[in-house]
């Protein structure tokens, strides 16, 4: 399916990608700077620093997943298959892609997946862990 606002979606994806990559670079830089900042004791700053670092670590995994989705969407834009739901293979509505250009599922499939995770996910794995 051809989307009218494909260029808009593409630039949005590229924007997200560069922001994610920029964030990773910043994370690497701050972790390198850590050795230097240790030479200058600053207790109040230390507490906030470790807090924001924890947040970056938490964000890290989500960002990595997001980056993979963005890369895949950009690849599909070039090679075809962009905007196709991975589950039902229907075209994802343009309105949804404008909001979430890296969407991989249509709304109804996404709801089903989320329902599945709620119903099976926790109870199932908890039972396995008990044994
Ligand atoms: Zn679907």
For 6-130, CATH gives 1.20.120.910
pLDDT, one tens digit per residue, over 72-93 is 999 999 999 999 999 999 999 9
Output the CA torsion 53→57→62→63 (10° steps): 60
Nearest C-alpha neighbor of 62 from the set 29, 23, 35:
23
Query: Which residue is listed with tokens 């989320």?
Result: 114
Nearest C-alpha neighbor of 1 from the set 92, 109, 78:
92
CA of 108 to the centre of ligand 1 (A): 6
Q: What is the pTM of this model?
A: 0.65
Question: Which residues partner with 84 through β-bridges?
Answer: 91
CA of 85 to the centre of ligand 1 (A): 5
Res. 2 pLDDT band, cuts 50 70 90: confident
CA of 56 to the centre of ligand 1 (A): 32
CA of 34 to the centre of ligand 1 (A): 46
- Report the distance separating Cα 22 and Cα 61, nearest Å: 15
CA distances from 121 to 47, 86, 116, 125 (A): 36, 20, 7, 6
CA distances from 54 to 47, 51, 65, 100 (A): 11, 5, 18, 27
Which residues are within 8 A (CB) of 8 and not within 5 positions of it... i.e. 6 or more apart?
Answer: 98
* Per-residue confidence (pLDDT) for residue 105, from 0 to 100: 94
Query: Residue 106 pLDDT > 90, yes or no?
Result: yes
């Amino acid at each position: 399916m051809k989307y009218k606002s494909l260029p808009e979606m593409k630039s949005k994806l590229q924007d997200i990608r560069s922001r994610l990559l920029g964030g990773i670079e910043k994370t690497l830089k701050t972790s390198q700077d850590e050795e230097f900042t240790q030479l200058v004791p600053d207790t109040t700053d230390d507490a906030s620093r470790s807090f924001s670092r924890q947040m970056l670590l938490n964000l890290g995994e989500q960002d990595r997943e997001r980056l993979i989705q963005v890369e895949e969407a950009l690849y599909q834009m070039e090679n075809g298959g962009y905007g196709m739901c991975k589950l039902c293979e229907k075209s994802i509505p343009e309105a949804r892609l404008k909001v979430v250009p890296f969407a991989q599922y249509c709304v109804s499939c996404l709801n089903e997946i989320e329902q599945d995770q709620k119903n099976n996910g926790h109870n199932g794995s908890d039972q396995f862990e008990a044994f």
